[in-house]
Structure 1
Amino acid sequence: MSASTPRSGASRSDNGPRNGNGGRSRGTTSRKAAKPKLTGKERARRIAKYGLIAGLVGALVLSAMFYIAYRATDIPDPNQAFQAQTTNVYYAGGKTKIGRFATQNRESIPLADVPKVMQDAAVAAEDRTFWTNKGIDPKGIIRAAFSNAKGGATQGASTITQQYVKILYLSQERTIRRKIKEAFLSLKIQQQQSKSQILEGYLNTIYFGRGAYGIQAAANAYFGIPAKQLDASQSAMLAAILNSPNYLSPDRSDASRQALQQRYDYVVSGMEKMGSLSASDAAKIEGKLPDTKKQASSNTYAGQKGFMLSMVKQELLRLGFTDQDIDGGGLKVTTTFTKKAMDAAQQAVQQVAPTGVKALHAAVASVDVQTGGVLGFYSGQDYLKSQIDWATTALPPGSAFKPFAVAAGIKDGFSLKDTFDGNSPYTFPDGSTVVNEGEGTGTDFGAKVSLTTATAKSINTAFVDMTQSMDNGPQKIADMAQKLGVPPLKPEEINARISLGGAPVSPLNMANAYAAIADGGLHHSTFVVSKVVKASTGEVLYTAPRKTDQVLDSDVAADTSYAMQQVVKTGTGRAATALGRPAAGKTGTATNDDKRVITSWFVGFTPQVATAVTYSHGTGYKPIDEGYLPRGYFGATYPAETWTAAMKLLMDGVPVEDFPPPANLDGKAPSSGHDPYTPPPPKPKPTKKTSSAAPTTAAPQEPVANGVCDPAYGYPQDPDCPPPSPSPTPTPPSTSPPPILGGGKPSSSP
């Protein structure tokens, strides 16, 4: 042994137990040899081995999970899934369809009818690995991420197969769960369908803008040709639009058209690289979009349907539904509209309104008295020609506002028999005046006119007198109108002339406010959506609540209604008696600062339905008193006749109901000098003995208009008394046909 080799045990002299002499105990067993330490390579091999085992186990688990999830993923029926995305809107009852949102103008065609150049354009635009990928493209996802990070505008992360799956089977939510399901479905579709079948399905379902779903509808919408006639330039443009149909449009702004041009050039370049176009053919079409035809209007929104769908969508948004829910959520929306009421409103205008008058607007709105549901309306024109809805546009209602003053006055202590100054003009302390309808300074109706008569004959001065006789009268009238359903008035509109109706209110709101009077003072907010259901599952997402507020004492409402009934029976609304059932209402005309008439109204109700009618011109504030309404611009003519025609059609078959009798409230008047008119005692009846004797008492003064015919005077001394019927005189028989009755000139009244 060499000197450099240590002797056995020499290197362990300081280890192990020792005996008392300092040597190792001879009786002990020798200790096991220590395990050699692992080298770095050995540790790496061991980690790799266990890692491989864990990886294999994990892969097996993931594969099992993937297999289970893959097997559990069912492909829904394409047609059912596709149709379920459309939101359909129905009339009341939920059976007759009004229309739908995101209308799918679509006609499926076989891939053989799609030009090869169109197929190639779609692939170049949306998925250049389509013919080789497995339905999902991980490289494409990474490439898109880097491109987006750099600000590039190339293809998206989804393959054509993924887009097809998303459109046909899935929602548009952006969640990891949906993306995973999208991947599973894409792989499954890839296994069950050929690439050609997938491309055919994709081109038949994808949205191209202009309401066109699928390549056949798109070719017609943009170029007026079937898909099989598309050329390279047209194909490239349609493929370019797919990336963002609502923005990349030739119909929008210059910025949108420029963005479309850039996307179009990208598609053309891709088609050249794919060999679909030669370099020379690509150069010919690059940089220039093809000509398109003018966008056609959809009949879905023609006539009144556009206004109906617009009202429905606005209400759904207010209720918390999103645009995505509405346009693609597969909802079934049941409305309060009835086809009977909608037809009645339109037919009434067509029957009564003068024809050939440019920019004349006639609007109608009908409300269910007991619910506030909007039954029907006519907006004044075709939605495709103008989107201004005159049934919901606020205009000054004129004297149709007076019933709110009647209700406020009675609530404040006045009675229907209390009297007010009906002479004209009424002069304010500042020297300004209010006049009644009539020649010169207006018609005088007497110094003591009852509230009933003032309402029936629409006497402006009497209403101003009542307003001035109430403590803070203008504000009380404004508050009453708001409680009944009129939107809040502006501060400058709340003045002594408030009852004359200078503040703008829409026909729909006027009808709703009148409905509260008809329903005994119960107010119901107007609504058009009664129920929303998820069509695919039947889940009820919304049901309109029955909201009722007692905003007016029923006795006050009954007296107000009674005064309005007299408008129809003996006042300015006599045209409404042709309805043939109990009705109440009020006429109205509003004037501008030049004293020119700008609106004409009749608003009325039966116990079941309240309807408002207004006529206006141009912007709604242009004069209508010179030739626009040939038979007169007062509410007693065209508006009252239109109202009657609409209500006849609407109430046909509806049971006749009576109004409750007036309560004849007689509270403590807020001011003195308005006591009811007391007629003088009757003249003594003449007898044989006294017939020639002179009267012993002085004749009482001539009575004034108070709504009561005083037999002591009769006609013409008492203006409330009707003229006697003329005695018939015999006339020889006539061989000519009898004359056509009607067409008489109505009396001038507001």
Structure 2
Amino acid sequence: MGRADARRAQRRAAKSGGIRRLFTWRKLLGTAFGVILLGMGAFAVLYMVVDVPEGNARAKLQANVYKYSDGSLLARTGEVNREIVSLAEVPKPVQDTFVAAENKSFYDDHGIDFKGTTRGLINTLSGKGKQGGSTITQQYVKNYYLEQDQTVTRKLKELVISLKVDQKRSKKEILAGYINTSYYGRGAYGIQAAAQAYYGVDAKDLNVSQGAYLAALLQAPSQYDWAVAGPRGKALVKERWAYTLNNMVEEDWLDPAERQKLKFPVPRDPKPLNGTAGQKGYIVEMARQAVLKQLDISGEQFDLGGWTITVNIDKKKQQQLEKSVETKLIDKLDTKKRKLDQDIQAGAVSLDPKSGAVLALYGGRGQNEHWVSNAARRDYQPASTFKPVILAAALDEKSKTQDGEQITASTRYDGTSKRPVVGGDRYFAPENEDDHDYGEITVQTAMNQSVNSVFAQMGVDVGMSRVMATAGKLGMDVEGMSVGPAQTLGSMGASPLEMAGIYATLDNHGKKVTPQIVKSAVHQGDEPLKLPDAIGDQVISRQAADSVTSVLTGVVDDGTARGSVRNAEGLLKQDIAGKTGTSDDNKSAWFTGYTPDLVTSVGLFGEAAFDRTGDDGKKIKKNAQVTLQGAGGGGRVNGGGFPAEIWADYMGHSLGKASKFVLDTDMGAAVSPPPSSHSASPRTSASDDSTPSGEPSDDTPTSEPPPSSEAPPSSPPPSPSDDPTSEPPPGPSTEPGPDPSTSIGLPDISGDKRPDNSAER
């Protein structure tokens, strides 16, 4: 070895020796021992200082109170959501499911899990969220004695109190406290309420399979509730259920052969809490969801109670809407003689266009019979009620036909059935209702008669991406929707609530109206909840919105809604705009319409009431979409039938003095008849001999304007930009429903002759 190497070796040895002298095993062990002693001393002090407190308010739930807009009581929820039961009332195998799911060592431990708690403390300090690994004793302490905040102080208190509770109370007492204070979802606190909520039985009647599901729920009540869980949530809760039972087998609490026989116990559909039967349940749930969305809190926190929520529902209008559905639909169905009549579901929403307030809603036959609210469901197509959105897009975008003519109410299109759309990126040739050919007709006539071929071409002329963008601006949830010419037939999903909002925005002269169910919400001792604005920005021009309104008056005065709406009691002198809709295969039927003061959307939906085999031999599962055809003993159920009749009866009894639209437009049925000077361009029109015989001549207006609502072209009402103070207040909104083509009016089973609505689309 050279001298240089020797010197380097000496330096390394010196450095190594220095480190060894600095970090000797004796010093390291001494330091660790000191830290442990310090921690033990601190814990000892904490143990002496922290006492077991009284049970907190969380363990004593309050009710949430709901009131009508006038302050009168609508419902109370929460007061019977918990019923304490003794452990002796819970079968031993069911008790074991909770221990197997949460804490297998429960009967042998001292109330704490140091490893799990340490992990929880580290997660809290590092900002990773909730702890895991708590014992049943710790969870009981957290539920009954402490708040739910995730802090180091709270976790340390939990540790000390858990040790003391384990010393002072028996394992049976702790287990009873745990299953009685835990939250299971569906507003159920405690095993007795949970047994009723999920299986309709008392806790004493639960079997081991059901107990394992309830035990599995505690990990994630909202995500694991079978009624609302997605595919992922259902898979996870089944895994958790199996894990619980397998643990019971490992602990010799369940016979392996018996385990193999057990099947997953699907819970029943949710049932409303006391005081929320009938339409009240739908109103309460919609208000509850609105508050939860605004607060961004869990249902568990909200259901602790203490809220006073006043809704915008007008008690008289609500009663009238329920009565109108009863007399114009339910009374005409015979569910005993015609099983098909059991499939009929109705939904409706009524809004104030000046404020966006939801004044009345109909969610179905009551939450006891149908949990999902038909007023808010959006799994059925809006069909032809979507056509006004296409026209609104055309007018707002100042779109032109294939031949360069700007689209207006008087623009002529080829109404030939199955005519291939020109200019699209794919082949599309929709059929008109009953395959009817109209020849060259104006946009006004096409709207009156709901001509599919015209609006399919118009959608392509505007551009379907622009049409869907306009739909989104008006209030339709278009996220994730496909964009294509088929959407012109309203093939997407929408709800009466959503459609009411869209039409309310049109009624509000293009200013966005978002339906609002909650008027005020106050938690005990807090400031009132700040609610979002129901009236938003100008999303389409006033001229475009008012022109659509003008055109839609023709549907009522001389179109598919004339028979049911125009001559109804209380509506003869009232300005009305609206649109009928009937979906593909007649699975839904709609009428959405409005006056200057009120917007209402009514939808009928075919939903299988029970499992059965269809006429084609195919299996039909309960809740599947089925046709409305034949309901009430008639034929096709169209939008101009039951939906329009419900709408007219409700509106006729809910409106006061007749009101008139004030429109900033020079087109449409409410202003003047369509001129006859424009001819359809060759590329978008049918040949001269395509006009069906017997059809009205295009030279003859199809819709006469109401004299009182006509606006002289020489002095139209000022636009918002000219006179902001003249802008009428905003209006409510609703969701759309499916509607492919026209349908035939149903015969009145009472023997009275129904108006002829055979032209309905």
TM-score for the superposition, normalised by structure 1 = 0.60
Could you say if the C-alpha distance between residues 235 and 261 of structure 1 is closer, same or farther in structure 2, counting changes exceeding 3 Å?
closer
Once residues 573 and 221 of structure 1 are traced to their aligned partners in structure 2, the CA distance between those partners, rounded to angstroms, is 44
Q: Deviations over 1:704-733 (max 9, x none)?
A: 3214779xxxxxxxxxxxxxxxxxxxxxxx
**What is the CA-CA distance between 1:608 and the residue it aligns to?**
3.4
Match of 1:525 among 514, 519, 534: 514
* Residues 1:404 and 2:371 aligned together: no
Could you say if the C-alpha distance between residues 657 and 326 of structure 1 is closer, same or farther in structure 2, counting changes exceeding 3 Å?
farther
Aligned to 2:156: 180
Once residues 483 and 599 of structure 2 are traced to their aligned partners in structure 1, the CA distance between those partners, rounded to angstroms, is 25
* Residues 1:483 and 2:492 aligned together: no
Once residues 748 and 557 of structure 1 are traced to their aligned partners in structure 2, the CA distance between those partners, rounded to angstroms, is 29
Match of 1:705 among 689, 700, 707: 700
Once residues 662 and 123 of structure 1 are traced to their aligned partners in structure 2, the CA distance between those partners, rounded to angstroms, is 66
Match of 2:307 among 315, 326, 332: 332
Aligned to 1:663: 664
Q: Deviations over 1:546-571 (max 9, x none)?
A: 45111233344333323323432343
Aligned pairs for 1:446-457 within 5 A: 449=442, 452-457=444-449
Once residues 460 and 307 of structure 1 are traced to their aligned partners in structure 2, the CA distance between those partners, rounded to angstroms, is 35
Aligned to 1:323: 298
Could you say if the C-alpha distance between residues 92 and 590 of structure 1 is closer, same or farther in structure 2, counting changes exceeding 3 Å?
same
User: Is there any run of 5+ residues in structure 2 with no aligned partner, and where?
Assistant: 1-29, 120-131, 227-233, 400-405, 608-622, 669-673, 679-695, 706-749
Once residues 537 and 418 of structure 2 are traced to their aligned partners in structure 1, the CA distance between those partners, rounded to angstroms, is 37
Aligned to 1:364: 348
Aligned to 1:75: 54
User: Is there any run of 5+ residues in structure 1 with no aligned partner, and where?
Assistant: 1-47, 147-154, 270-281, 668-673, 679-700, 711-739
Once residues 370 and 281 of structure 2 are traced to their aligned partners in structure 1, the CA distance between those partners, rounded to angstroms, is 10
Partner SS state of residue 533, structure 2: coil
Match of 1:603 among 571, 578, 592: 592
Once residues 216 and 591 of structure 1 are traced to their aligned partners in structure 2, the CA distance between those partners, rounded to angstroms, is 45
**What is the CA-CA distance between 1:388 and the residue it aligns to?**
5.7
Aligned pairs for 1:245-284 within 5 A: 245=218, 255-264=239-248
Once residues 586 and 134 of structure 2 are traced to their aligned partners in structure 1, the CA distance between those partners, rounded to angstroms, is 63
**What is the CA-CA distance between 1:480 and the residue it aligns to?**
3.7
**What is the CA-CA distance between 1:573 and the residue it aligns to?**
1.8
Q: Deviations over 1:193-252 (max 9, x none)?
A: 99998787666545689976556667888999877x79xx97999699768746899998
Aligned to 2:647: 643
**What is the CA-CA distance between 1:187 and the residue it aligns to?**
8.2
Once residues 481 and 135 of structure 2 are traced to their aligned partners in structure 1, the CA distance between those partners, rounded to angstroms, is 58
Match of 1:512 among 501, 507, 510: 501
Which is higher, the Rg of structure 1 or of structure 2? Answer: 1
**What is the CA-CA distance between 1:507 and the residue it aligns to?**
2.9
Once residues 239 and 454 of structure 2 are traced to their aligned partners in structure 1, the CA distance between those partners, rounded to angstroms, is 61
Higher RCO structure (Cα 8 Å, ≥6 apart): 2
Q: Give aligned pairs, total.
A: 594
Q: Which moved more, 1:525-534 or 1:168-177?
A: 525-534
Q: Deviations over 1:608-637 (max 9, x none)?
A: 332222334358875545667616533221
* Residues 1:350 and 2:326 aligned together: yes
Once residues 209 and 478 of structure 1 are traced to their aligned partners in structure 2, the CA distance between those partners, rounded to angstroms, is 37
Once residues 119 and 492 of structure 1 are traced to their aligned partners in structure 2, the CA distance between those partners, rounded to angstroms, is 48
Once residues 364 and 130 of structure 1 are traced to their aligned partners in structure 2, the CA distance between those partners, rounded to angstroms, is 52
**What is the CA-CA distance between 1:326 and the residue it aligns to?**
4.5
Once residues 418 and 245 of structure 2 are traced to their aligned partners in structure 1, the CA distance between those partners, rounded to angstroms, is 69
* Residues 1:552 and 2:531 aligned together: no
**What is the CA-CA distance between 1:487 and the residue it aligns to?**
3.7
Once residues 266 and 190 of structure 1 are traced to their aligned partners in structure 2, the CA distance between those partners, rounded to angstroms, is 25
TM-score for the superposition, normalised by structure 2 = 0.59
Could you say if the C-alpha distance between residues 370 and 145 of structure 1 is closer, same or farther in structure 2, counting changes exceeding 3 Å?
same
* Residues 1:562 and 2:550 aligned together: yes
**What is the CA-CA distance between 1:145 and the residue it aligns to?**
8.3
Could you say if the C-alpha distance between residues 169 and 546 of structure 1 is closer, same or farther in structure 2, counting changes exceeding 3 Å?
farther
Aligned to 1:543: 531
Q: Deviations over 1:317-370 (max 9, x none)?
A: 655724365466657373756274665555433333352324334332333423
- 2:350, 2:601 within 8 Å by CA — same for their partners in 1? yes
Once residues 225 and 428 of structure 2 are traced to their aligned partners in structure 1, the CA distance between those partners, rounded to angstroms, is 59
Partner SS state of residue 604, structure 2: strand
Pairwise CA RMSD: 5.9
One-letter code of the match for 2:549?
Answer: S
Once residues 470 and 225 of structure 2 are traced to their aligned partners in structure 1, the CA distance between those partners, rounded to angstroms, is 52
Aligned to 2:759: 749
Partner SS state of residue 272, structure 2: helix
Aligned pairs for 1:622-701 within 5 A: 623-625=627-629, 630=634, 632-648=636-652, 651=654, 655-656=656-657, 658-665=659-666, 675=675
* Residues 1:572 and 2:560 aligned together: yes
- 1:210, 1:295 within 8 Å by CA — same for their partners in 2? no
One-letter code of the match for 1:523?
Answer: K
Partner SS state of residue 106, structure 1: coil
- 2:448, 2:559 within 8 Å by CA — same for their partners in 1? yes
**What is the CA-CA distance between 1:499 and the residue it aligns to?**
5.5
Once residues 597 and 287 of structure 1 are traced to their aligned partners in structure 2, the CA distance between those partners, rounded to angstroms, is 47
Q: Deviations over 1:620-675 (max 9, x none)?
A: 875545667616533221120122234456x3xx65462333334379xxxxxx85
One-letter code of the match for 2:307?
Answer: K
Once residues 759 and 629 of structure 2 are traced to their aligned partners in structure 1, the CA distance between those partners, rounded to angstroms, is 14
Once residues 490 and 293 of structure 1 are traced to their aligned partners in structure 2, the CA distance between those partners, rounded to angstroms, is 34
Identity over the aligned pairs, expressed in percent? Answer: 23
One-letter code of the match for 2:142?
Answer: K
